[in-house]
């Protein structure tokens, strides 16, 4: 079956050469897993929220009680969550005749978009970022495991010039198991690194994507993520 997708474009926010974000795709009825059987992350069925809790930022920390998730935001970073969601909503309104198979139901939402500098601020270094988003699981018929989401996600990353560093693999944050995929993009003498972590929760696909200029920076941003014990 042909892959059909649309995604939140954040190229104007990260940099003029980059677009990354959340896909709204219809997966095959039996999409192939990106992990070997030994590495599959199986998650128990979770209660379904009719609308995902957007969470909130206070004192430099994003908190989402429904996901039991907290994310530290580096000092001085710029929040652009509302602008990213507003841009997608405006695009939906202007698309009077969407392409066949493209959902215009608004099944996805950016929960957090934080960047190291405003989009129009010029600098030589990479505009590092953290983007957390959620899509309704029923947008992807047949998707049962977080690893399967890396099919369409990887296609978008490659379309934007990223190369895959490693096939998706199981990654733990505390007691929470996610699936992680790593990518890179050469920009002259510099390198842009992207890591995406995906999980299924409360009837949604939740993706956490971080971008940085060095491996240490990416790992430091990921280290700022934590899950409250006892919530699945």
pLDDT in tens, 61-104: 999 999 999 999 999 999 999 988 887 555 555 443 333 222 33
Which tens digit of pLDDT belongs to each residue from 183-229? 999 877 788 999 999 999 999 999 999 999 999 999 999 999 999 87
When comparing pLDDT for 44 and 145, which is higher? 145
**Would you place residue 32 in the very low, low, confident or very high pLDDT band (cuts 50, 70, 90)?**
very low
Which tens digit of pLDDT belongs to each residue from 102-120? 233 456 899 999 999 887 6
The DSSP-derived string for the chain is ---EEEE---HHHHBTTB----EEEE--SSPPPSS-GGG-------PPPSS----EEETTEEEETTTTEEEE--TT-EE-HHHHHHHHHHHHHH-SSPPTT---S--EEEEEEEESS-TT---SS---EEEEEEEEGGGSTT--SGGGGHHHHHHHHHHTT-EEEEEEEEEEETTEEEEEEEEEEEETTEEEEEEEEEEEETTEEEEEEEEESSHHHHHHHHHTEEE-TT--
Q: What is the pTM of this model?
A: 0.75
Per-residue pLDDT at 178 exceeds 50: yes
Could you name the CATH architecture of 4-227? 3-Layer(aba) Sandwich (3.40)
When comparing pLDDT for 100 and 159, which is higher? 159
Per-residue pLDDT at 155 exceeds 60: yes
* Confidence at residue 49, expressed as pLDDT on a 0 to 100 scale: 60
């Amino acid at each position: 079956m042909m892959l059909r997708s649309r995604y939140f474009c954040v190229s104007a926010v990260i940099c003029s050469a980059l677009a990354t974000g959340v896909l709204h795709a219809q997966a095959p009825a039996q999409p192939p897993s990106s992990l070997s059987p030994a590495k599959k992350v199986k998650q128990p069925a979770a209660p379904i929220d009719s609308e995902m809790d957007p969470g909130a930022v206070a004192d430099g920390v994003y908190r989402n009680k429904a996901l039991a998730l907290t994310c530290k935001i580096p000092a001085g970073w710029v929040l652009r969550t509302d602008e990213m969601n507003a841009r997608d909503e405006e695009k939906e309104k202007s698309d009077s005749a969407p392409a066949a198979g493209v959902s215009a139901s608004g099944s996805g939402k950016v929960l957090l978009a934080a960047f190291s500098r405003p989009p129009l601020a010029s600098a030589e270094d990479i505009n590092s970022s953290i983007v957390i988003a959620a899509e309704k699981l029923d947008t992807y018929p047949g998707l049962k495991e977080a690893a399967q989401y890396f099919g369409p996600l990887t296609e978008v990353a490659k379309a934007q010039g990223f190369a895959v560093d490693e096939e998706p693999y199981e990654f733990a944050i505390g007691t929470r198991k996610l699936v992680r995929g790593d990518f890179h993009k050469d920009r002259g003498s510099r390198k842009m690194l992207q890591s995406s972590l995906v999980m299924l929760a409360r009837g949604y696909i939740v993706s956490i994507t971080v971008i940085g200029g060095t491996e240490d920076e990416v790992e430091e941003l990921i280290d700022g993520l934590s899950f409250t014990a006892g919530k699945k």
